[in-house]
């Protein structure tokens, strides 16, 4: 495998399972040192030790990305261990569905916190290690090291989705943040792109009846899609099937790779044509 990311440090949030885990694994396979975050500490530690036993350089920094203190801690631990930050993938997320007329403020704001505020704070916390260092490299006449950010959006953010006023708004907002970072940090050679996934098979899209839940401030939040809806969605996918987490990861790694060195400010749709 090409070692595109040898000597590069990649942070992936929400990497204990699903798309984030596949993304962390693929970056490691392409040579990166990887920092795995997840809210679920057991899951983050297990993912990290699986990859470490396969011989990869991996650090687990569990924690809640919506905690205002977490982003600085994440950067400090990353830099203490691996010395720098080249790539950030803002992937941590979940859904908290409900129709608008029944949606609480807490339910709405939780989606903005996890999909907009947390990525913003993480990018801001990374500024000294990405923007400032790239600026210094430029001032010294050096070619800045490869650096980029990939934010995870969704088809719901591009088109809206029934029952997801909160999630759609947030997944749309992350595209605005992506394009702004691309403009502010582009002059320092730092790229920023988004990926909008359609239907990828993970815990988030399991049959709702399977009872997958996440706890938010003591409240149990139901994850998943009603099973009767999944057949209908699949019928609308030209490729005729949901995507796998590894296929989703491929798009993220591509955008951070040298193959995408002239791509910034875009939102790549990875949807099987949906």
Q: Would you give the binding string for ligand NAD spanning residues 44-83, x where CB under 6 A is met?
A: --------------------xxx-----------------
Q: Which two tokens stand for residue 118?
A: 């947390």
Q: CB 137 → ligand NAD: shortest distance, Å?
A: 31
Among 5, 27, 30, 39, binds ligand NAD (CB under 6 A): 39
Nearer to ligand NAD, 47 or 133 (CB): 47
**Which residue bears the tokens 């009872």?**
211
Instruction: List the catalytic residues.
Output: 167
Among 31, 40, 127, 266, binds ligand NAD (CB under 6 A): 40
Q: Would you give the binding string for ligand NAD spanning residues 148-177, x where CB under 6 A is met?
A: ----x-x-----------------------
Q: CB 225 → ligand NAD: shortest distance, Å?
A: 9
Nearer to ligand NAD, 20 or 189 (CB): 20
Q: CB 227 → ligand NAD: shortest distance, Å?
A: 15
Instruction: Say how far apart CA 233 and CA 239 lie, in whole Å.
Output: 12
243: CB partners within 8 A, 6+ apart: 197, 198, 199, 200, 201, 270, 271, 272
Which regions of the chain does DSSP assign to beta strands (E)? 9-12, 33-36, 58-60, 87-90, 147-154, 190-197, 213-216, 219-222, 267-270
Instruction: Say how far apart CA 166 and CA 114 lie, in whole Å.
Output: 11
User: Which helix (H) or strand (E) is 183 found in, with range?
Assistant: helix 165-185
248: CB partners within 8 A, 6+ apart: 19, 22, 23, 195, 197, 200, 270
Instruction: Say how far apart CA 214 and CA 223 lie, in whole Å.
Output: 7
Nearer to ligand NAD, 133 or 196 (CB): 196
The site that binds ligand NAD (CB under 6 A) totals a number of residues, namely: 29
Q: CB 64 → ligand NAD: shortest distance, Å?
A: 4
Interacting residues with ligand NAD (CB under 6 A): 13-14, 16-20, 37-40, 43, 64-66, 91-94, 114, 152, 154, 197, 199-200, 202-205
């Amino acid at each position: 495998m090409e070692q595109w990311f040898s000597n590069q440090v990649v942070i992936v949030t929400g990497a204990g399972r699903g798309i984030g885990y596949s993304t962390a694994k693929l970056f490691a396979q392409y040579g990166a040192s990887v920092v795995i975050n997840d809210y679920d500490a057991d899951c983050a530690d297990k993912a990290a030790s699986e990859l470490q036993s396969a011989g990869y350089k991996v650090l687990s920094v569990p924690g809640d990305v919506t905690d205002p203190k977490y982003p600085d801690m994440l950067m400090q631990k990353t830099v203490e261990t691996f010395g720098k930050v080249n790539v950030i993938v803002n992937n941590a997320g979940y859904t908290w569905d409900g129709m608008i007329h029944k949606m609480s403020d807490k339910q709405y704001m939780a989606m903005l916190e996890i999909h907009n505020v947390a990525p913003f704070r993480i990018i801001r916390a990374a500024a000294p290690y990405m923007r400032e260092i790239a600026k210094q490299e430029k001032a010294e006449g050096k070619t800045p090291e490869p650096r980029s950010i990939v934010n995870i959006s969704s088809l719901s953010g591009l088109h809206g989705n029934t029952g997801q006023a909160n999630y759609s708004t947030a997944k749309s907002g992350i595209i605005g943040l992506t394009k702004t970072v691309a403009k502010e940090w582009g002059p320092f050679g730092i790229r920023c792109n988004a990926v909008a996934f359609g239907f990828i098979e993970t815990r988030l899209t399991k049959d709702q009846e399977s009872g997958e839940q996440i706890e938010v401030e003591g409240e149990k939040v139901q994850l998943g899609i009603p099973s009767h809806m999944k057949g209908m969605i699949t019928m609308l996918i030209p490729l005729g099937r949901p995507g796998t987490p590894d296929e989703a990861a491929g798009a993220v790694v591509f955008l951070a790779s040298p193959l995408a060195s002239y791509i910034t400010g875009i939102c790549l749709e990875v949807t099987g044509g949906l």
